[in-house]
Amino acid sequence: MRFGLFFFLLLALAGSSSARAQNLPPRQLPPVEPPRPMPGAQGPAPTLQVTTTEVLVPTLVEKRDGEILYGLKQKDFVLEDNGVPQKIRVQEEMDTAPVALVVAVELGGASVLEFDKLAKLGPLLDLFLTDPRSRVALVGFDSTPQLIQDYTHSGDQVNQELKSLQPGDGGAAILDTISYAVTLLETQPKEFRRVLLLISEERDHGSRHTKPEALIRQIGESDVLVLSVAFNPARAEIAHDTWDPNLDDRTLNMVSALAMVVKAFKKNVSREIADLSGGEYTTFTGDKKFEARVVDAARHARNRYLITFSPSNPTPGLHTLRVRTAEDYGARIVARDHYWAAGASP
C-alpha cells in the first residue's frame, strides 16, 4: 500500500515537471561574450554608430582586368541617396585603418564537408592583420553562435582552433550569427575598420532570435563590412535582386525597398547581407578556389575609397544608395547599396 502511494507521487511529480517544461519560454540567444582586452589595451574604446548626420560608404573600384583603379578624387564620384545626388567627401588615400575582423564559420549541417578547407584558413587571415594593431576573433555556429576565439593578433591561435573544429547540429542560424558578430565588432575602437568574414551556406536554417527587418536595420546603422564566401558550388549568382538601374522609382519607395531586401533574404541571405553592407559575395568549389576567394576578400577590404556624406533628406528608414564614377571607366564599383536612417522602426 505504501509502495502504491509512493508510485502515485512519482507520477504526479513527473506530470508536473512535464507541464512546466511545456510552459517554459523559448530559449534566448546567448549574449555576446564581452571580448577580453588585447595585451596593452587602455580600456574600452567608444563604438562607432552610423547616423543620419554622417554615412560611411567604403567603395571598391576595380578595372576590367581585376586591378584596383587608383588615383580617383572627390570630383570623380557621384553618390545618390534615394535617387538624389549628394555632396560627398572622399578620403584620397586608401583605407589604411587597422582591422577588427570576426570570422564566422558554419559548423552545422553539410559544412563538415568543408572543414578541411577551413583548417587552411589561418595563414590567409594574416592578410587582414598586416597592421600590428589589427585583431581577429573566431565565431562558430550551427543553431546557435558561439565565441570560439576571443580577439587576438595571432593568426596562429585562430589557426589552431580552425584545425580542431567539431561538427554541430543540423542548423545554420545565419541571421542570428550575423547579428551576434556585428554586436561583437561594435565593441572595437571607432577608428578600426570592422569586417565580418562569413563562411557559410546561402540560406538560413534555424535563426529564432533575429528577424530580417531587424538585421537589415542593424547592418544599415553600422559600419561593418560583410564579406561572404559561400559553400554552394552549384552556381555563383551575379544578378542583384534589389537593384535595377532601369527602375529608378525603386529608390524613392523606402517601404518597397525594405520589402524587396527581406524577400531576397529567403533566397540567399549571405549574398544580400554582403551587398547591404557594401561587401562582396562569392562562392567556391575546390581548395585553390577557396584560398583565392579569401585572398581577394582581404585585398578588396583594404583597397577602398572612403566616401562620406550627410544626407540631404534624412527621412527615417531604409535608404537606397547608388555610387558611380562621373566618367565611364568601364570599372566595377562595389559599395553599400542601403543604409538605415535612425529614428524609425522597421
Instruction: List C-alpha distances in Å: 140 to 36, 52, 199, 210.
Output: 18, 33, 10, 17
Please check whether residue 223 is in contact with residue 196, taking contact to mean a CB–CB distance below 8 angstroms: no
Q: For residue range 263-311, list pLDDT tens digits in order.
A: 777 788 888 888 888 888 888 766 677 788 788 888 777 788 889 999 9
Among 223, 219, 168, smallest CA distance to 191 is for 223
pLDDT band at 178 (very low <50, low <70, confident <90, very high): very high
Q: Per the confidence metrics, is the pTM higher than 0.75?
A: no
Q: What is the CATH number of domain 99-234+248-302?
A: 3.40.50.410
> What does the pLDDT read at residue 119?
87
Q: What is the DSSP letter of 228?
A: E
| pLDDT > 70 fraction of the chain, expressed in percent and rounded | 74
> What does the pLDDT read at residue 283?
80
The residues with which 194 forms a beta bridge, in sequence order, are 100
> What does the pLDDT read at residue 240?
36
Lowest mean pLDDT among 5-9, 180-184, 255-259: 5-9
Q: For residue range 68-80, list pLDDT tens digits in order.
A: 888 899 999 999 9
> What does the pLDDT read at residue 253?
59
Q: For residue range 218-254, list pLDDT tens digits in order.
A: 998 988 999 998 875 343 333 333 334 443 443 445 5
Q: Does residue 28 carry a pLDDT above 70?
A: no
Among 283, 186, 300, smallest CA distance to 232 is for 283
